[in-house]
Structure 1
Amino acid sequence: MISDPAQYMAIALFVSFVLLIFTGYPVAWLMGGLAVLFTAISVLSDNYLDTFFGVDWGYSSIVVTRIYAVMNNWVLVALPMFVFMGVMMDKSGIAEDLMVDLTKLFGGVRGGLAITIVVIGVLLAASTGIIGAAVVLLAILGVPLMLKHSYDASLACGVVCATGTLGILIPPSIMLVLMADQIRVSVGDLFMGAMLPGLMLGGLYAVFILTYAWLRPSAAPAPLDAEPVSVRMIVNVVKSTLPPAGLIVAVLGSIFFGVATPTEASGIGALGATLLALARRRLSFAGLKEVLRNTMKTTSYIFALFVGATAFSLVLRGFGGDALIEDSLNSLPFGANGVVVVVLLITFLLGFVLDWIEITLIVLPLLTPVLIGLDVDLVWFAVLFAVCLQTSFITPPVGFALFYMKGVAPKEVDTVTIYKGIIPFMIIQLIGVSLVFAFPKIATWLPTVAYGP
């Protein structure tokens, strides 16, 4: 399988990265540091052992050109704009109003409060896309309320963690922007392709909650003091839903109908979120500074990872890591679909120890040539990959949604309870991946309708 001794260096580089993740050192600097370290090892080996692995300082200096190309990419301008949109939507307080009104509407049903979390989570996903903000907000609003009404603590935590991660899949999603850039497909195609799978997952969550509440009424009881549904209640829900829904239509509609590029639409979203916050009198100068500061922090984190991942990938390729992966996958006797299954399995396992950004920036560029050679539909694969990566947010020990949940959960909720609650939703995620795999049109139908085959 290994045709070049330098490929052992590629394996050592990747294994070192996975092991050093557990030190807690910032991942961006870890990747960049390993790239420098293994370049130095290669140079020293050439100087003193007469063994040259194909990587020297001249080769590694190419990283400067590659980083410039990344930073000069017009598509990536959408990242800070979508981040700003999400943070500003969080600032506007729309979710609090939705929680109050939807609780009244669904509160009389068994599992109704959990269903409320799913509905709000889907709306937040399509209007914010910031996982940390979504999970924290849903946890603060929903978990104490569900516990107050005698909901099972693990179910309450599980639905919040799972629903909060939908923002990474349902467009506009910063993950889809990154993925489109890495595999060179249209952002609009990925947005359209991920729409139905994202909504499908939300629907699967709701079906599970209703079924679980029916089988175990004590785990998600209906409140005894619930108000009867009235026309006024429905009107209030519609009024609370219209602002985020209008923003979603403005952003995604402008992309889907060809009025604006994703980059231009991100500007529309940022402006729309700011106007909503102003209209609701929830934005001050101090608040604007906070939004800008949080946007800068998130964007800086992502682009620092770009720098580290670019250096890491370059050195990995220099050692023949891309050829090793390509040869390994092409040698599998399973055909194109079998290769996709193997890739998804590896991605799922990597999600236990790596963040979605590292997996996207390191793994996708290495896989793309193989997938093109196997004539795999890249939009379909990217959506499959995205649904699989969403699971990385809820898989221990690096599931960030679990950390966010634990950070704001009531004192009586321990880590074991959170882990127990997320297990059924992990299974639902895998069911979602299986459905998209078995029925590709779930991901490809909407882009085909919009743009043709």
Structure 2
Amino acid sequence: MELLFLLVLVLLMAGALASGYPVAFALPGSAILSVLIAAICGYLFAGNVDAYFAQGGPGQWLSAGVTNLRGIYWEPERDTLIAIPLFVFMGIMLQRSRIAEDLLIAMAQLFGPIPGGLGISVVFVGALLAATTGIVGATVVAMGLISLPAMLRNNYSQPLATGTIAASGTLGQIIPPSIVLIILADQLASASDQAGTARTALYKQATGELTMPSVFNVAPTSAGEMFLGAFLPGLVLVVLYMIFILVRALINPKAAPAVPYEGKYDAGFAGRVLLALVPPLALIFIVLGSIIAGIATVNQAGAIGAAGALIMAGYKLHDGKGLRPYLPALIAIFSLVMMGLIRTQFDVNVKAIETSRDMTGVVLMALALGLLVLALAWSGLRAIRIDNTMYGVMVETAKTTSLVFIILLGAAMLTAAFRSFGGEELVREFLTGMPGGFWAQFFIVMVVIFILGFFLDFIEIAVVVVPIVAPILLADPGANVTAVWLGVMIGLNIQTSFLTPPFGFALFYLRGVAPAIVKTIQIYRGVIAFILLQLVALVIVAYAPPLVNYLPNRVALLSETSPPPRNPALQYCVDRYVFETLDKDGDRIRGLLASAQSADLSVLPERFRGRLTESFENAGSVFGLIGDVRTAEQAVIAATPPYRPLHTAVRSVERDVNRHEREIGELETRISRLRGDDPEIVERRERLAVRLEILVAEKDELLAQIPDEWEAVHEEFAKLTRAETQAGNNYRRAADNAYRPVSDAVVLLRSAEALEALRARIVELQGQLDSAEPADLAGQLSELQSETDAIDGASDVRSGLGDARRALEGDNADRQAAADGVNEAIAAADEELAWRKPAAAELLPTLGAYEDAIRTNIGLRQLPRFPREQALYVASCNASHRDVSLNF
């Protein structure tokens, strides 16, 4: 019966959408009606409102709806959605300020003289507008009004002209900043959590282990990562469009003829091009650059973009002459430059003001900020006074944002109803039961999304389909894809929804502004080639995951908050880097190791001699242990081809068995609840009992399909994987133990000069103990204590200085106790310098060269963060997907 009400839900939603009922109300309305119908039927025919729900009932569905409402509006973890109104405001403000018009005219004049140049300029401007406005309707309308007449006047093919404009206008859906990417990131965040839970359960079932190694975890994504991941695929799509237009023009010059520029390419022309091009490029650089560089979050970048759009609108809307229209923008630029200079010269942390210089820096920064606020207020006043632009932009922003959030809520209610009727489990069983593994599942999902694009908007697809299918695809360890890659692939696919008839919105927008001479069928013909190009881009990105994964990895590993090299998720790539480095540079490192081993360590304290000797032994064993790792890896690789088909077949049978066991458990529960001798209840109980017997028999048949040799073969392969894991652990343990003692020793020896300088300052202070004021002495001792923090092994010195400082604090200063503490600090420093200075002179050249040589290879895991070269290697290595299914 649950399937019947699931069908009711789908039919209600399809009927409401087909009738033209607003999507924002069709989604929650379908959910509410189907739940009510199921609850009423359950009460009337089974005496239980929960009877026809696969999970819970109307009460649980209502609770899920409240949770979703709270999740969308109040959970701080989902604050990425705040960026939506900011980017919407930015796009509408730029559209109202005629940025597109100036860009199109300038680029058409610049590229027009080459074959297909006018079409290429439309694509170029579409890409720029996508990175600034991101609003498809505004972009298509603007380019349709400005470029289409020019293309038709110059005898461009109608299908090529209309297809170019419609396709270029949709680039805002995949080139960041994009609302659809923000929504996908929000949906994929929760989908990643569900996928991680499912994968953990799968690992536990397959191995019997209670915990899954973190290397197999499903990594979540964020809007910032989605922006980074979509950047290169967006450029790929732009390049495909341009190549297509250029090739079409070369093959058939009449379809896209060159358009000579009648004016002169002089300084005035260059100035007009730069004035049209530089401001939007600067805004793109600031908004996306701040995200890529890790300076700003997506929300902060959205605020920057909104402020930048307001500044640009301030001079674009003004019709004055000379510099007057640009005064707010010039003030804003001056204030930003001033802030940058102040930031390099002063510490502007208000909480850290200690000196008059610090106060000067804060005051200057406040003045610069005041100038920026003045520029924003001035520009905002112009937007209010000129054509009431601000009012229109704010109203449109409120409408668009409200629509997005209402659809999000409605889709959450629909998804909860879909799950309550067992729809998610049905989809999971269908996808996981398909032959071909992940890629067959992925292909079906992409086809479904593509077909839905003929009828639904991108938001509906993102918020209805993604929460259902994304957890299933992300949980599959076969392809082990990243959430950001899946999101970008879905985003590229969803982009076609603007071009596919009958409900392609870009087609409607263009039809509304195209002249009557352009027939609708020509517009439809024109977009076919660009839809195919989008599918080609999908194939390229599917075949080359680094196009998506590399930039997010690179930014993450080079940022101030980068994960350390010891992060388990990075170990595979870290090991590959070390292995390759030692293959190339192993002889030199062995030579330096031999020199370090032959050095006379007797000048060091006993505690260091033993650790260093042991570290040299570990370093020498690393090369052999790397060989063991490679041998173990080759053994697993050799055993994989015969094992994989058997593993796939058995795991498929086990999935079917698990499905039967779940259904058997549900039937047993339902039978246990049917008590009494009422004939109708007895009949239902007997019917369920028959179904239970059939399921038990089918389960036994499935278990019989598992080959007898499975256990032995599986155990043998498991032994190989355990040996591989153990070899890796042995190598990493030896490498860690090889580097840390050497690093500690070198740090101590290199700090000998700093320690000697500190001792000299302590001795100088010792001479002032009898004459200086206790408060001044306590302040100097506190500064010296702080300096000891930068000197390793100076804890005893710090302790003595601390005793002296405490003796001088308060009303009853004890100068003798302070003198004792200072003497204790000097004695501790002398004790350390007694061995550090001769050891530094004799050992530091040898140990220092050896430590420098192994720091970024054998010692890489011990570093707090990746050096640049290693970060780039690991980012590139980790950008590809690795099949980990044989571990499950």
Measured against the shorter chain, the TM-score band is: over 0.9
Aligned partner (choices 48, 58, 67) of residue 65 of structure 1: 67
Greater shift, 430-439 or 87-96, is seen at 87-96
- Paired residue for 1:233? 269
* Cα drift, residue 234 of structure 1: 4.1
Aligned partner (choices 24, 29, 38) of residue 28 of structure 1: 24
Q: For the Cα contact (< 8 Å) 1:108–1:226, is it kept in 2?
A: no
Q: For the Cα contact (< 8 Å) 2:174–2:234, is it kept in 1?
A: yes
- Paired residue for 1:48? 44
- Paired residue for 1:400? 505
- Paired residue for 1:39? 35
Aligned to 2:517, what secondary structure does the other structure show?
coil
Q: For the Cα contact (< 8 Å) 2:112–2:261, is it kept in 1?
A: no
Letter in 1 for 2:542: F
Cα deviation per residue 1:89-141 (whole Å; 9 max; x = unaligned)? 11222222112211111111221111111111000000011111111111111
Q: For the Cα contact (< 8 Å) 2:155–2:257, is it kept in 1?
A: yes
Cα deviation per residue 1:255-311 (whole Å; 9 max; x = unaligned)? 111111101111111011001111334453110101101101111111111121111
**Distance in 2 between residues matched to 1:174 and 1:276, nearest whole Å:** 21
Q: For the Cα contact (< 8 Å) 1:18–1:353, is it kept in 2?
A: no
Aligned to 1:333, what secondary structure does the other structure show?
coil
Letter in 2 for 1:102: M
Q: For the Cα contact (< 8 Å) 1:105–1:234, is it kept in 2?
A: no
- Are 1:139 and 2:144 counterparts? yes
Greater shift, 260-269 or 332-341, is seen at 332-341
**Distance in 2 between residues matched to 1:259 and 1:203, nearest whole Å:** 29
The residue correspondences of 1:169-318 to structure 2 (distance < 5 A) are 169-184=174-189, 185-223=221-259, 226-227=262-263, 229=265, 233-282=269-318, 283-285=382-384, 286-318=388-420
Aligned partner (choices 161, 168, 185) of residue 156 of structure 1: 161
Normalising by structure 2, what TM-score?
0.49
**Distance in 2 between residues matched to 1:261 and 1:408, nearest whole Å:** 38
* Cα drift, residue 441 of structure 1: 1.1
Letter in 2 for 1:10: L
* Cα drift, residue 227 of structure 1: 4.6
- Are 1:432 and 2:532 counterparts? no
Greater shift, 47-56 or 342-351, is seen at 47-56
The residue correspondences of 1:362-401 to structure 2 (distance < 5 A) are 362-374=464-476, 375-401=480-506
* Cα drift, residue 70 of structure 1: 0.5
* Cα drift, residue 171 of structure 1: 0.4
Letter in 2 for 1:53: Y
Greater shift, 375-384 or 128-137, is seen at 375-384
Q: For the Cα contact (< 8 Å) 2:112–2:260, is it kept in 1?
A: no
C-alpha RMSD over aligned residues: 1.6
* Cα drift, residue 218 of structure 1: 1.3
- Paired residue for 2:170? 165
**Distance in 2 between residues matched to 1:335 and 1:234, nearest whole Å:** 56
**Distance in 1 between residues matched to 2:531 and 2:102, nearest whole Å:** 29
* Cα drift, residue 56 of structure 1: 4.2
- Paired residue for 1:110? 115
Q: For the Cα contact (< 8 Å) 1:394–1:400, is it kept in 2?
A: yes
Aligned to 1:218, what secondary structure does the other structure show?
coil
Aligned to 2:254, what secondary structure does the other structure show?
helix
* Cα drift, residue 368 of structure 1: 2.5
Flag the structure with larger Rg: 2
**Distance in 2 between residues matched to 1:315 and 1:224, nearest whole Å:** 60
* Cα drift, residue 156 of structure 1: 1.1
**Distance in 2 between residues matched to 1:203 and 1:224, nearest whole Å:** 23
**Distance in 2 between residues matched to 1:337 and 1:227, nearest whole Å:** 55
Aligned to 2:463, what secondary structure does the other structure show?
helix
Runs of 4+ that moved beyond 6 A: none
Greater shift, 38-47 or 48-57, is seen at 48-57
CA spacing shift, 1:451–1:10, aligned 2, 3 Å: same
**Distance in 2 between residues matched to 1:22 and 1:230, nearest whole Å:** 56
Cα deviation per residue 1:18-51 (whole Å; 9 max; x = unaligned)? 3432211101111111111101111121122218
Structure 2 unmatched ranges of 5 or more: 190-220, 319-381, 558-877, 879-888
- Paired residue for 1:415? 520
Aligned to 2:161, what secondary structure does the other structure show?
helix
Q: For the Cα contact (< 8 Å) 1:168–1:390, is it kept in 2?
A: yes
Percentage of identical aligned residues? 39
Normalising by structure 1, what TM-score?
0.95
**Distance in 2 between residues matched to 1:336 and 1:232, nearest whole Å:** 57
Letter in 2 for 1:408: V
**Distance in 1 between residues matched to 2:69 and 2:545, nearest whole Å:** 34
Letter in 1 for 2:67: T
**Distance in 2 between residues matched to 1:281 and 1:412, nearest whole Å:** 33
Q: For the Cα contact (< 8 Å) 1:42–1:56, is it kept in 2?
A: no
**Distance in 1 between residues matched to 2:286 and 2:259, nearest whole Å:** 37
* Cα drift, residue 397 of structure 1: 1.1
Structure 1 unmatched ranges of 5 or more: none
- Paired residue for 1:335? 437
**Distance in 2 between residues matched to 1:222 and 1:10, nearest whole Å:** 57
Letter in 1 for 2:42: D
- Paired residue for 1:126? 131
Q: How many residues align?
A: 449
Q: For the Cα contact (< 8 Å) 2:450–2:496, is it kept in 1?
A: yes
